Structure 1
Amino acid sequence: MSAPNSLLGTLLHAVGGISASSCYLPSTKTKGWSWNTFWLAQSIFAWFIVPTLLAWITVPDFFNILSEAPSKSFWMALLLGGVYGFGGMSFGKAINYIGYSLTYTLAIGISAVVGTIMPLVVFGGLDDFFNKPGGSIVLLGMILSVVGVFICGWAGFKKEKDLDADKLNKAGFNMMLGLVLSIIAGVLSGVFNLSLEYGQPIADMAAEHGAGQFEGNAKLVVSTFGCFLVNFVWYIVVGFKQKTLVEFRPSKENKNSKTRLIKNWLLSSLTGMLWCFQFFFYGLGHVKMGDYQFASWVLHMSMLIFFSYIVGVIMKEWKGVKKETYTILIIGLVVLILSFCVTSYGSY
């Protein structure tokens, strides 16, 4: 295995953040599908097909490793991945209600804290958190990250006051419902990191088989499959109840329906690949962080928030806000960038 390199690890987390912050953009281009249908289609790729293919390609003896994996590690990773499945649903719906910027800030901000602290509480090590060389600097970076999240969230709430209420209502903006869903998504997203931690013995087995820096792909499959099962069952049931499963069939009345159906499937597969690649690069970055792998989660989440704001600006989610609100947003993003630098330096 190559030597730890915190700078490279930070860059890999940044690539993962770009992938994650843009993964739901293809949903805006699908035609003739309800949200339920799109979510079901993308879940097949995001949490089953793509992670399985990545593990099969990059991990020697992958299926043998799964069959020989420690029972507790396998089932806990699968179960907690399933719990995260409800968080994924909540996250997707929250975007519909309050947009990319606010959803990512609130949900990922919560996830950064929960996902970093929870494994230290469950597996131990919280008492030693501050005692490692550079630990206080890493802690400062994490605090700056939380401050940056708070400032960006403040900008988001000011945005709600700045924009015309009628326009927000027409766009389906619902701050209260979006806030509740974001909180649920944030807490359960933190649980996903706990799922990955439980699956670490599977990654260790992959390393022993020569997977090297791709060892994380072995445990990722188990966690995402739990997420897939929950989403697949849920949206199949919803599809039957709301009669949206027929959207998977081409319409006899519409001559272009087959082309549109193929395009929708391609967009769904792109969403799934982008979502999965965030954790592909997370796994690579996590290995490179060396002794400060515990900081990977908050660093990855901070990157995700930062790039989600870039996406939000490109999508003109902040068009029409007051100059003061936009200034607060920029300050928040600068603080987040500073937190990346401080965390990386502390881990180095």
Structure 2
Amino acid sequence: MANPILGTLIHAIGGVAASTCYVPLQKVKKWSWDTYWLLQASFAWFIFPFIIGFLTVPNLMDVFAKADMSILINATLLGVIYGFGGMCFGYAIKHIGYSLTYTISIGISAILGTIVPLIMHGEMAEKYNAPGGHIVFLGMFFALIGIVICGVAGYKKEKDLKNKNVEGGEPLTFNMKKGLTLTLIAGVLSAVFGISLEVGEPISKIAEEYGAGQFQGNAKLILSTFGAFLTNLIWFTVVGVKKGTLKQLVDVKGIGVKTYTLNFGMSVLTGALWYGQFFFYGIGHTNMGEFGFASWVIHMSMLIFFSYIVGILMKEWKQVSKKTNQVLGLALVILIASFIVMAYGTMLGEGSIGGH
């Protein structure tokens, strides 16, 4: 039995996991960023998806065996393409911080990842005209406005910081141009991940037949994440060999047992949180019923909202002007309104369906 309100709340839990997944990076010491990224990617996109998949989907290998080969290949290849987006996302954080990277990248992903599958299936008009459909699309429009205003706040932030210095007299390293370029690429390719999940949806249906229930999405997720893992494994292995940093993964004595253990633990935590977002995405999506098409934009909007909360807690907005903070506040209010409107639309639609 579908429950869109519960689905929206579960998407919120996924949003919290996603918005905090790169925070552990702050604790990593004496490792190159490339080493950290390769290890967290191994857990986020390979180890956790396979372990949780086997634990929650009965007869997982039979599910894959029953699936059409073209679906298996296409979902994995789209995951490979997304893998480059994941890399760009990580680099963008280094230039413009958590809040803006999440907002712009995930904002693009939210819209493209929702609209493209509807166009692919020729369902745009059908979903809009369905009971509650126009309300859901209105909420999506609000989300887009909130995302744009967040971007405006970002440019205002850059202007505010230009003439300010951090403690110690060193200028702040905030590069909107470079960060924006990386973020735009990450956003488009992140939407590809949503499309990969959509392509793999028939695998979820097979998993449901085998008794996976609410965890049916864990089967298709393995394909999408495995593709992303392959891209990052090849890229960062080559980079690690060239830079001579790959040995850091096993050099315990070089940085000390305590630091190595902390670095390893923070990388695993990053991977767990990243995977957690889509673990909850799958359950939330299952609960959305006829409004499953709105799952991606709801999930991404939640992610943006909570990433700003994380950014504020990390004092990324501490040195900006009062006016910039007001613009940011307006954006967050509009994003909250979009969640409420989308949840209301799905509730109307489910009520109508239930009444038939």
- TM-score of the pair, normalised by structure 2: 0.94
Given that 2:252 and 2:260 are in contact with CA atoms closer than 8 Å, whether structure 1 keeps it comes out as no
Question: 1:218 is matched with which residue?
Answer: 219
Given that 1:44 and 1:228 are in contact with CA atoms closer than 8 Å, whether structure 2 keeps it comes out as yes
Identity, in percent, stands at 54
CA deviations on 1:33-53 (whole Å, 9 max, x unpaired) are 111000000001000011111
Partners of 1:242 and 1:330 lie apart in 2 by 42
Structure 2 unaligned blocks of 5 or more: 348-356
Question: 2:346 is matched with which residue?
Answer: 347
Question: 1:75 is matched with which residue?
Answer: 73
Alignment of 1:85-100 (within 5 A): 85-100=83-98
Partners of 1:27 and 1:186 lie apart in 2 by 21
Given that 2:158 and 2:174 are in contact with CA atoms closer than 8 Å, whether structure 1 keeps it comes out as no
Q: CA deviation at 1:166?
A: 6.0
CA deviations on 1:138-178 (whole Å, 9 max, x unpaired) are 01100000011111111111111112446388443211110
Partners of 1:112 and 1:141 lie apart in 2 by 12
The one-letter code of the counterpart of 2:341 is V
Question: 1:310 is matched with which residue?
Answer: 309
Partners of 1:320 and 1:173 lie apart in 2 by 13
CA root-mean-square deviation = 1.3
What secondary structure sits across from 2:211 in the alignment? coil
Alignment of 1:1-348 (within 5 A): 3-165=1-163, 167=165, 170-250=171-251, 252=253, 257-348=256-347
Given that 2:132 and 2:345 are in contact with CA atoms closer than 8 Å, whether structure 1 keeps it comes out as yes
What secondary structure sits across from 1:320 in the alignment? coil
CA deviations on 1:306-338 (whole Å, 9 max, x unpaired) are 000000001100011111110111111011001
CA deviations on 1:235-254 (whole Å, 9 max, x unpaired) are 000111111112123365x5
Partners of 1:312 and 1:258 lie apart in 2 by 31
The one-letter code of the counterpart of 1:290 is G
What secondary structure sits across from 1:84 in the alignment? helix
What secondary structure sits across from 2:129 in the alignment? coil
Q: CA deviation at 1:127?
A: 2.9
What secondary structure sits across from 2:130 in the alignment? coil
Given that 2:11 and 2:284 are in contact with CA atoms closer than 8 Å, whether structure 1 keeps it comes out as yes
Change (3 A) 1:65 1:251: closer
Given that 1:250 and 1:258 are in contact with CA atoms closer than 8 Å, whether structure 2 keeps it comes out as no
Q: CA deviation at 1:112?
A: 0.7
Partners of 1:287 and 1:202 lie apart in 2 by 13
Given that 2:113 and 2:297 are in contact with CA atoms closer than 8 Å, whether structure 1 keeps it comes out as yes
Partners of 2:80 and 2:41 lie apart in 1 by 13
Given that 1:138 and 1:342 are in contact with CA atoms closer than 8 Å, whether structure 2 keeps it comes out as yes
Partners of 2:135 and 2:97 lie apart in 1 by 33
Partners of 2:127 and 2:203 lie apart in 1 by 25
Q: CA deviation at 1:72?
A: 1.1
What secondary structure sits across from 1:124 in the alignment? coil
Q: CA deviation at 1:94?
A: 0.3
Q: CA deviation at 1:89?
A: 0.3
Q: CA deviation at 1:261?
A: 1.2
Partners of 1:268 and 1:171 lie apart in 2 by 26
CA deviations on 1:269-308 (whole Å, 9 max, x unpaired) are 0000000010010011101111010001110010000000
Partners of 1:153 and 1:226 lie apart in 2 by 30
Given that 1:203 and 1:215 are in contact with CA atoms closer than 8 Å, whether structure 2 keeps it comes out as yes
Structure 1 unaligned blocks of 5 or more: none
How many residue pairs align between the two structures? 344
Change (3 A) 1:130 1:242: same
Q: CA deviation at 1:268?
A: 0.4
Given that 2:2 and 2:289 are in contact with CA atoms closer than 8 Å, whether structure 1 keeps it comes out as yes
Partners of 1:113 and 1:193 lie apart in 2 by 10
- TM-score of the pair, normalised by structure 1: 0.96
Partners of 1:171 and 1:159 lie apart in 2 by 12
Partners of 2:250 and 2:208 lie apart in 1 by 43
The one-letter code of the counterpart of 2:296 is W
